[in-house]
Structure 1
Amino acid sequence: MRLMLLSNSTAPGRGYLEHAAEPLGDLLTGVRELAFVPFALADHEGYTATVAAALARFGVRVAGAHTGEPAQVVGQADAVFVGGGNTFRLVSALYRTGLIEAVPALVREGMPYLGSSAGTNVATPSLRTTNDMPIVEVPSFATFGLVPFQINPHYLDPDPTSTHQGETRDERLRQYLEENDVPVLAMREGTWLRRDGDSLSFEGADAGGRLYRQGTDTVEIPAPTDVSYLLNG
């Protein structure tokens, strides 16, 4: 499998996907047509146009999965990109359109997969570590399972000066581990994962990320770091 999983698709002062242009170019080498899955946002046409403009620099033509039978649109492409937005809305659409089965089957056969935010969430076994509000009901929390661990995109460190009385992201992930013995890679903004077969690299911004595991202390993960061991399950 060839995967690129971004915490975020935009960065301050940069265009859409511009902060990850170099590794993205590597992923898209040889790709002429990419299928974009826009279902995490309501404006499918506008979202697809944004992606098409960003990927034009790579000579890639973008087809929105909403423009036809979604599984067929994806099946005819050379690569697939699942965009960010609300993870619950995205997962609901994946089940409704049959993409929940079609996409991982194609990716396991070698189709390059690009995900950002919600699209990164669904590359994991479950949506349980999303940050999003459940604005729609989903048939199941089960997602693509392209990696055997969980990811928390857009990770925010606790602010010691905050007067907010709700749970921090750190507390929520620790609660997840109270019920689930599956590691979570918390990815700060500007970071991404690249998988090429059995090799997995955590890359991007100096901020890096944090690895949460049941029964052990959290560990800071700098970027770049080889995290292939996370593929062992």
Structure 2
Amino acid sequence: MKKMILASTSTIHGSGYLEYLNPTLEAHFKEVETVTFIPFARPGGISYDRYTEAASNAFAKINKKVIGLHTAKNRKEALLNGEAIFIGGGNTFELLNQLYQQELLEDLKNVIENGIPYLGTSAGSNICGLNIKNTNDMPIIYPPSFDALGTIPFNINAHYLDPLLGSKHMGETRETRIKEFHVFNETPVLGLREGSWISVAGDEISLKGKHTARFFQKNKEAVEIASGSIL
């Protein structure tokens, strides 16, 4: 049975890294001692070691040890034998590219489907959809495919932003870009606002956090999903 937490962001204003999620993470990871961290998204181009250190410091607050997957001699074996997995934010294109290049994508999908506790934030949430076509990231590298894990039956647009009333910004809104996506694609998209996350328990997917989420489907009006709702 799948056990997933997919959050829009790692950090909210006024809070430390993953801190706002700590009560949820304590319950989510209560049966494990060690979390395998996959640092391939590397936000801002930071090193894998530095990124793993940030994750380690955050998980220490809930008494969990973190091991960076990049330090394993056999990464495939380490992934398959791990107790739990965390993938943080950064560049979704590079994250997916590394999973393809290192032939880890199918293994990651399998362990998630088999029930390993998984936490994704931002890019780590984006890759759980059917593809990564709704990421906000710059395509700094071209992965072999945009197809992702498909562990949820829709895509996530993390850090979803509503238009600001009175703003003089003349560029496209997130909603406009998602409508453009739906001209050519059928996949539903969940606009996940900062501080919100979805919980996956088997086939049940529910919205958590303080905010509503905006759900987009091709040829339909977008709808607001209340926190606590089953998607």
Q: TM-score, normalised to structure 1's length?
A: 0.94
Aligned residue in 2 for 1:96: 101
AA matched with 1:145: G
Determine which of 47, 57, 63 is the counterpart of 1:59: 63
Q: After TM superposition, what 4+ stretches of structure 1 lie above 6 angstroms from structure 2?
A: none
**Structure 1 residues not aligned, in runs of 5+:** 228-233
**Structure 2 residues not aligned, in runs of 5+:** none
> Secondary structure of the equivalent of 1:225?
coil
> Secondary structure of the equivalent of 1:128?
coil
Deviation at 1:78, TM superposition (A): 0.3
Aligned residue in 1 for 2:206: 201
- 2:15 is the counterpart of 1:11: no
Q: How does 1:34-53 map onto structure 2 within 5 Å?
A: 34-41=35-42, 42=45, 43-53=47-57
CA distances 1:159-190 after superposition (whole Å, capped 9, x unpaired): 24222222111100011111111111100100
Deviation at 1:22, TM superposition (A): 1.4
Aligned residue in 2 for 1:216: 220
Residue identity over aligned pairs, in percent, reads 38
Aligned-CA RMSD value: 1.1
- 2:120 is the counterpart of 1:119: no
Task: State the distance in 1 between where 2:96 and 2:186 align.
Answer: 22
CA distances 1:93-122 after superposition (whole Å, capped 9, x unpaired): 111111211101111111111100000000
Q: How does 1:22-171 map onto structure 2 within 5 Å?
A: 22-41=23-42, 42=45, 43-68=47-72, 69-171=74-176
AA matched with 1:51: A
Task: State the distance in 2 between where 1:184 and 1:193 align.
Answer: 13
Q: TM-score, normalised to structure 2's length?
A: 0.94
Task: State the distance in 2 between where 1:186 and 1:200 align.
Answer: 15
CA distances 1:22-62 after superposition (whole Å, capped 9, x unpaired): 11111101111111000101321111111111111322211
> Secondary structure of the equivalent of 1:194?
strand
